[in-house]
Amino acid sequence: WAISALGVDATGGMPICTGDLFLSLDEGRDFPHGGTERCTALLLASGLHLVTRDSGVVRSFAWNPFAALSKVCGPSQDAWEEGGMRIFLLSSSRGDQTRRLFLAAHGEDADATRERWLREIAGALRLYIRSQLPPVDLSVHPLPQVPETAGRLLAGHLLVRLRATAGG
């Protein structure tokens, strides 16, 4: 994830979806005491912008192929639900770092709003991942011209096959 406050902002373009969401300031650990910020969310093909209503601070989260999206379950969700919020989680790992972004819909249509955001973000992530990891034909059979592929796992086989088809 790229965070614009750190000077890295890889997101841009026309918004796919916009609306109000709440951002947990402590990754959902201590809601409601840890605080939330009401944000205007702009979903883009390359990531998500959150503009806080009070301060105008912009947080930008750029997609990567390892991003995951889910509804949040467990004890932390109960406190959010009691507060009328329906939460979901965007997470991503790179190396030994995991970034988690807890977001919530609020109001009488919070369930429908959360479902809409989950659907829209999942669609944007799918498109992004497809653009970064184009489809390839997989085969679990060894390459006849490369005997070393007979004992390799599929990942190793895929790399060799890609190199062979790319002429390298």
103-160 per-position pLDDT tens digit? 999 888 999 999 999 999 999 999 888 888 777 776 677 778 887 777 665 555 455 5
Among candidate residues 101, 91, 100, the one with its CA nearest the CA of residue 39: 101
Indicate the residue type of 109.
D
Query: Residue 149 has what DSSP assignment?
Result: G
Structure confidence at residue 34 (pLDDT): 57
Measured CA to CA in angstroms, residue 99 lies from 90, 136, 137 at distances of: 8, 29, 32
Instruction: Work out the pLDDT band at 43, boundaries 50, 70, 90.
Output: very high
Structure confidence at residue 118 (pLDDT): 95
Whether the pLDDT of residue 37 is over 50: the answer is yes
Structure confidence at residue 95 (pLDDT): 73
Measured CA to CA in angstroms, residue 47 lies from 10, 16, 107, 131, 152 at distances of: 8, 10, 25, 13, 36
Structure confidence at residue 14 (pLDDT): 82
Mean pLDDT of 6-26: 71
Structure confidence at residue 21 (pLDDT): 94
Tens digits of residue pLDDT in 55-107 = 888 888 888 888 888 887 666 666 667 777 888 888 887 777 777 888 999 88
